């Protein structure tokens, strides 16, 4: 029996679902903020310098925290509206593809923000007010399983299965695990109902610190989509609700937006490369980098996965980062490939270029070459970021950054935008294809372990999504993405 695909539909601003008889949902896409925000490239880099770059010696599996996003320095914040408990209570949770725990602020939380600069109402979960809530005691088999795969502990003092997560940017959360109902919208052959729910294990935070304790960019918690047992996708797939695969397609234009699907987006041109096994993050085997078709002189060992090295795909990261040994050859190759008439300039440590020409005409294509023969081909707009102008010429800077003293290569939204990206946990692979993300996408009828023939969807739900004929489950998500327009303040 095929599992239904769990589909997360991410839209800009507030999602509106109109349900009327046999009518499909009507989803309104809006831009959360105007495109004239001023922010320098080095400010964005500073905001990106968190968990994976500054990862502690803890065995915890954590990812980039997109904290830095607020009305004043919008750097990209993705959050979903989730209903938990009975009666359901609404929570705004930051989507995180690198960490595993879904956690929300508890009614007993210390140092938790009471208001948010994102103009959302914050809520606190009270287990006593939910008729379906239950605490996870130390004796619970699920607690033992959690302890083996995450930052969980068991306190004999209160017999609670507890957790403590510390992030590299000095943010953190601690609390205890709760089991309760998560509510979502079901879809079948294009029709919507609103009475679906399933049990889920999540963290009830009674302490937040660092960036999580600040009000300017506060949300209610985190929605973990990592590779481990505690992630949302793992819990749903273990119950037969969703397959162990999810996909996204993020628009790279000024409007922004996109779709995140717990299910498989299918496209004939998708190429796949294997995930590196036994890793907590989405690690890939990057073998080489080519500029204008010529491989760079970089030892393959620079990209090999080890304790302090490896290549990670992370949609929660705004920029992209190269291992220190690869950065200078990469920048030099791009600089050498462009016409000498293009003036180069260093702006706060970033390699930038002054030109009045169209960048796609003068800058080379870059290819990231992975195991299995898959290449991630980057157009100039996939590695350059436009800043302000100087003397009537546009300033373009290389968006790839160097991680000083680190061997990590991190592929963020800079290179993932305008592409379908499929995280196939069941098949242990990641795939991608260039795509116009404002166009409809097709969802596979074959899900989970049923890897049969892919068929295009037969029902159009809205402009950006087509459903499979088999039906699926969906959580409709409020997705705020504060896209960044990088303007150099001279």
pLDDT, tens digit (0-9, with 9 covering 90-100), for 329-350: 999 999 999 999 999 999 888 8
52 compared with 409, residue with greater pLDDT: 409
Structure tokens at 28: 């309104």
Q: Of the given ranges (43-57, 140-154, 183-197), which has the lowest mean pLDDT?
A: 43-57
Q: Do 76 and 47 touch, CB atoms closer than 8 A?
A: no
Q: Residue 450: what pLDDT?
A: 45
Of the candidates 223, 327, 234, 236, the residue with the CA atom closest to the CA atom of residue 280: 234
Question: Which range is most confident: 364-378, 389-403, 409-423, 435-449?
Answer: 364-378
Mean pLDDT of 431-448: 80
Q: Do 487 and 462 touch, CB atoms closer than 8 A?
A: no
Of the candidates 367, 376, 365, 366, the residue with the CA atom closest to the CA atom of residue 430: 376
**What is the percent of the chain where pLDDT is above 90?**
38
Of the candidates 297, 337, 306, the residue with the CA atom closest to the CA atom of residue 409: 306
Top-level CATH class of 28-264+444-478? mainly beta
Q: Do 39 and 486 touch, CB atoms closer than 8 A?
A: yes
Would you list the domain boundaries of the chain? 28-264+444-478, 268-416
Q: Is 18 exposed, middle or buried (0-12, 13-18, 19+ CB in 10 A)?
A: exposed
Any residues with CB less than 8 A from the CB of 485 and at least 6 apart, and which? Answer: 35, 36, 37, 39, 254
d(CA 159, CA 19): 45
Q: Is 268 exposed, middle or buried (0-12, 13-18, 19+ CB in 10 A)?
A: exposed
Fold matches, 28-264+444-478 and 268-416:
yes
Q: Residue 314: what pLDDT?
A: 82
Give the active site residues: 96, 314
**Region for 375 from its dihedrals, namely left if φ exceeds 0, alpha if ψ lies in -120 to 50, beta otherwise:** beta
Q: Of the given ranges (87-91, 114-118, 450-454), which has the lowest mean pLDDT?
A: 450-454
Mean pLDDT of the chain: 75
Mapping DSSP to helix (H, G, I), strand (E, B) and coil, where does residue 311 land? strand
Is the CA virtual torsion 218, 220, 223, 229 positive or negative? positive
**What is the percent of the chain where pLDDT is above 70?**
70
Q: Residue 307: what pLDDT?
A: 83
d(CA 160, CA 135): 7
Of the candidates 124, 216, 213, the residue with the CA atom closest to the CA atom of residue 171: 213
Total number of residues shown for the chain: 490
Q: Which residues of 270-297 are buried (b: 16+ CB within 10 A; e: fewer)?
A: bbbbbbbeeebbbbbbbbbbbbeeeeee
pLDDT in tens, 350-403: 899 999 999 999 999 999 999 999 999 999 999 999 888 888 899 999 999 987
The residues with which 194 forms a beta bridge, in sequence order, are: none
pLDDT in tens, 40-87: 665 555 445 444 433 332 322 112 222 222 222 334 566 777 899 999
d(CA 368, CA 374): 8
Structure tokens at 276: 């590196």
DSSP string, 331-387: HHHHHHHS-TTSEEEEETTEEEEEESS-HHHHSPPEEEEEGGG-EEEE-GGGTEEEE
Question: In 85-156, which residue ranges form alpha helices assigned H by DSSP?
Answer: 141-149
d(CA 470, CA 188): 7
Question: In 193-341, which residue ranges form alpha helices assigned H by DSSP?
Answer: 232-238, 324-337
d(CA 71, CA 292): 39
Of the candidates 441, 442, 406, 446, the residue with the CA atom closest to the CA atom of residue 426: 446
DSSP, res 23: B
User: Can the peptide bond before residue 236 be classed as cis, meaning omega within 30 degrees of 0?
Assistant: no
Q: Which residues of 124-133 are buried (b: 16+ CB within 10 A; e: fewer)?
A: bbebeebeeb
Residue 27 scores a pLDDT above 60: no
Top-level CATH class of 268-416? mainly beta
Q: How many helices (H) and strands (E) does the chain have?
A: 6, 33
């Amino acid at each position: 029996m095929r599992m239904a695909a769990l589909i997360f539909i991410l839209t800009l601003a507030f999602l509106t679902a109109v349900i009327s008889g046999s009518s499909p949902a009507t989803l309104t896409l809006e831009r959360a903020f105007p495109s004239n925000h001023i922010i320098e490239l080095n400010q964005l880099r500073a905001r990106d310098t968190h968990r994976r770059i500054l990862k502690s010696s803890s065995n915890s599996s954590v990812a980039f925290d997109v904290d830095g996003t607020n009305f004043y320095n919008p750097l990209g914040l993705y959050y979903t509206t989730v209903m938990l408990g009975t009666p359901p209570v609404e929570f705004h949770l930051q989507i995180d593809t690198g960490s595993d725990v879904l956690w929300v602020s508890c009614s007993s939380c210390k140092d938790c923000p009471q208001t948010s600069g994102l103009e959302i109402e914050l809520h606190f979960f009270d287990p006593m007010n939910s008729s379906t809530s239950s605490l996870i005691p130390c004796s619970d088999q699920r607690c033992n399983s959690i302890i083996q795969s995450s930052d969980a502990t068991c306190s004999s003092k209160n017999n609670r299965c507890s957790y403590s997560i510390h992030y590299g940017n000095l943010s953190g959360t601690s609390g205890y695990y709760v089991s309760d109902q998560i509510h979502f919208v079901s879809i079948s052959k294009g029709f919507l109902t609103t009475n679906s729910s399933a049990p889920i294990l999540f963290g009830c935070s009674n302490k937040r610190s660092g960036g999580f304790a600040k009000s300017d960019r506060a949300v209610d918690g985190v929605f973990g989509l990592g590779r481990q047992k505690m992630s949302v996708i793992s819990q749903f797939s273990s119950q037969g609700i969703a397959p162990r695969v999810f996909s996204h397609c993020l628009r790279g234009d000024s409007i922004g937006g996109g779709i995140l699907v717990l299910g498989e987006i299918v496209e004939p041109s998708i190429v796949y490369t294997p995930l590196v096994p036994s890793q907590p993050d989405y690690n890939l085997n990057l073998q080489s980098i080519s500029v204008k078709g010529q491989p760079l002189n970089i030892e393959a060992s620079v990209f090999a996965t080890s304790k302090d090295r490896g290549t990670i795909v992370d949609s929660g990261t705004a920029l992209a980062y190269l291992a220190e040994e690869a950065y200078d050859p990469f920048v030099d190759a791009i600089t050498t490939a462009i016409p000498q008439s293009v003036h180069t300039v260093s702006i706060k440590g970033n390699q930038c270029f002054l030109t009045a020409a169209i960048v796609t005409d003068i800058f080379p294509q870059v290819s990231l070459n992975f195991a299995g023969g898959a290449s991630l081909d980057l157009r100039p707009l996939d590695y350059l970021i436009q800043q302000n102008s100087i003397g009537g010429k546009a300033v373009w800077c290389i968006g790839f950054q160097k991680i000083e003293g680190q061997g990590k290569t991190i592929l963020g939204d800079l290179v993932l935008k305008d592409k379908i990206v499929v995280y196939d946990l069941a098949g242990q692979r990641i795939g991608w294809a260039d795509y116009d993300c404002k166009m409809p996408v097709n969802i596979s009828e074959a899900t989970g372990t049923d890897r049969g023939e892919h068929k295009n969807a037969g029902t159009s739900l809205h402009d950006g999504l087509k459903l499979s004929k088999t039906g699926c489950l969906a959580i409709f998500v409020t997705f705020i993405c504060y896209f960044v327009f990088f303007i150099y303040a001279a």
